[in-house]
Amino acid sequence: MTASSLGKQLSELGFHFAADNLDDVVARATKQRWGAVELLGYLATEESSARARRGVERRLSSSKLGRMSPMANFDWGWPTRIDRAAVESALKLEFLEGARNVVLIAPQGLGKTMIAQNIAHEAILKGHSALFTTASSMLLDLGAQESARTLDTRLKHYARPAVLVVDEVGYLSYDSRNADLLFQVVSRRYENKSLVLTTNLHFGDWANVFPNAACATALIDRIVHHADVISIEGKSFRRREAEAAKAKRAKA
Examine the domain organization and report whether 207 and 135 are in the same domain.
yes
Q: Is residue 151 part of a domain?
A: yes
Q: Are residues 13 and 59 in the same domain?
A: yes
Q: Do the domain assignments include residue 247?
A: no
- d(C-alpha 127, C-alpha 246), whole Å: 43
At 168-185, the pLDDT tens digits run 998 887 888 888 999 999
Are 162 and 43 members of one domain?
no
pLDDT for residue 50 is more than 80 = yes
Q: List pLDDT tens digits, range 15-32.
A: 888 888 988 988 998 999
Q: Which domain holds residue 81?
A: 71-239
Q: How far apart are CA 83 and CA 105, in angstroms?
A: 12
The span from the first CA to the last CA of the chain, in angstroms, equals 71
Domain count, the chain: 2
Mean pLDDT of 41-45: 90
Query: Tens of pLDDT along 212-245?
Result: 667 878 889 999 999 999 999 998 876 655 555 5
Are residue 17 and residue 98 in the same domain, yes or no? no
Structural domain contains residue 251: no
pTM of the model: 0.83
30 CB burial (10 A radius; 0-12, 13-18, 19+): exposed
CA dist 193 and 99 (Å) reads 5
Asked whether 214 and 249 are in contact (CB, 8 A), the reply is no
Q: Which amino acid is at 4?
A: S
Helices (DSSP H) in the chain: which residue ranges? Answer: 3-12, 16-20, 22-31, 36-63, 84-91, 112-125, 135-143, 148-159, 176-189, 216-225, 237-251
Inter-residue contact 197 to 112 (CB < 8 Å): no
